[in-house]
Amino acid sequence: MKDLFENSGLERLPIDDAEVLLQRGIDLGKPYALLIDKLIEVTSWRQQEIKIYGKKYLQPRLSAWYGNEAYSYSGILLKPRPWTKALLELKHRVESIIGHQFNSVLLNYYRDQNDSMGMHSDDESELGKQPVIASLSLGEERSFLLRHKYRKDIKTIKLLLSSGSLLVMKGDTQSYWRHGIAKASKPCGPRVNLTFRNIRRI
């Protein structure tokens, strides 16, 4: 079968039960430092409260949801904000690199080394069975962890996502793997990650 992103320049990583592609240093038309500063300044950031086994926690990062559809996960409903010019520009860049369209983006702002994201799969029903998720990283390099859900013989994979990295997860990745962002062991500056997704109206 022809790979969806055959001509994209993204490298497919050799990971069992997953389709993960990565390209570092993608061309966004503007310096990364300028883009992250602007996104930090103009985004409507919120620190969401989530419920895990009935107990309420504040997420250890800030986030924002833009696009056409609402999205619910971990017991919270995110109402979308309308696309901004800057986000649409980034969306179009990513879409033209990988040849795939998106209707929403989740932004996560890791303010420093203490901010993180727990291990999870992006497997909500609104995303469909084999979602294509494109993740763009800006700012401080952080460790992105991938852990197989069932096979204990496969070690946790650590990918260092530097500013300007584009990571694509597709196929069975969400069915077999969890991913997350670990706290950093040393002090570090801000990182903003944008995950472009397709929310299906159900």
Residues within the interface to Mn ion (CB under 5 A): 122
User: Which partner in ligand AKG, Mn ion, none is near 144 (CB below 5 to 8 A by kind)?
Assistant: ligand AKG
Q: Determine if 179 is a binding residue for ligand AKG (CB under 6 A).
A: yes
| Structural element, H or E, at residue 38 | helix 32-42
Interior CA angle at 143 toward 155 and 50, to 5°? 95
Interior CA angle at 98 toward 92 and 99, to 5°? 75
- Which of positions 34-93 make contact with ligand AKG (CB under 6 A)? none
As a whole number of Å, the end-to-end CA separation of the chain is 29
Q: Determine if 102 is a binding residue for ligand AKG (CB under 6 A).
A: no
User: Which partner in ligand AKG, Mn ion, none is near 8 (CB below 5 to 8 A by kind)?
Assistant: none
Helical pair 85-98 and 32-42, crossing angle rounded to 10 deg: 130
CA distance 194 to 58: 20
Q: Determine if 135 is a binding residue for ligand AKG (CB under 6 A).
A: yes
- Which of positions 151-170 make contact with ligand AKG (CB under 6 A)? 161
Cβ pair 163, 139 in contact under 8 A: yes
**Min separation Cβ 175 and ligand AKG, Å:** 15
Number of chain positions touching ligand AKG (CB under 6 A): 12
Do β-strands 133-139 and 165-170 pair in parallel, antiparallel, or remain unpaired? antiparallel
CB closer to Mn ion, 38 vs 100: 100
User: Which partner in Mn ion, ligand AKG, none is near 90 (CB below 5 to 8 A by kind)?
Assistant: none
Q: Contact residues for ligand AKG (CB under 6 A)?
A: 106, 108, 117, 122, 135, 137, 144, 161, 179, 181, 193, 195
